[in-house]
Amino acid sequence: MKAFKKYYIIPAPPEEVYNALTNPLAIRLWTGEPATMSADPGSEFSLWGDSIEGKNLEFVPGKKIVQQWYFGDDGEASIVTILLHPHAQGTSVELKHSNIPDSEFDDITEGWNTIYFKSLHEFFE
């Protein structure tokens, strides 16, 4: 199991970035795909045509999102923590993704960089 941590700058205030990450209608706008999402801890979510699925664990509006991502029966839970910090250019997004299966690491990190946060950045440009 591996971990990944990276910062991204999104050109929008933290409250707008939080909404774009938690509101299923907003998610559809920047991903182009239907999404199942709720800001209720314990709720299940699905993004990008079910290619990302998991459970929402914790929310602090405008500041923090914690999710468990599913990778089959790979022992420890894979946890995604997204922290939103005000930044001169909008929002500094601090991403921490722990317990990524070794076999999925390259695809997951490439997805964070070239799809997930690239799409979100382009949405706010």
Would you kindly state where each structural domain of the chain is located, as residue ranges? 2-124
Q: Residue type at 94?
A: E
- What topology does CATH give the domain 2-124? Alpha-D-Glucose-1,6-Bisphosphate; Chain A, domain 4 (3.30.530)
- With vertex at residue 90, the alpha carbon angle to CA 39 and CA 16, rounded to the nearest 5 degrees, is 25
Helices (H), the chain: 14-22, 24-31, 105-111, 117-124
Q: Return the closest-CA partner of residue 98 out of 119, 79, 74.
A: 79
Are 34 and 28 spatial neighbours (Cβ–Cβ below 8 Å)?
A: yes
Q: What per-residue confidence (pLDDT) applies to 17?
A: 98
Instruction: Split the chain (125 residues) into runs of 10 and give each run's mean pLDDT.
Output: 96 98 95 93 92 94 96 78 97 96 91 94 96
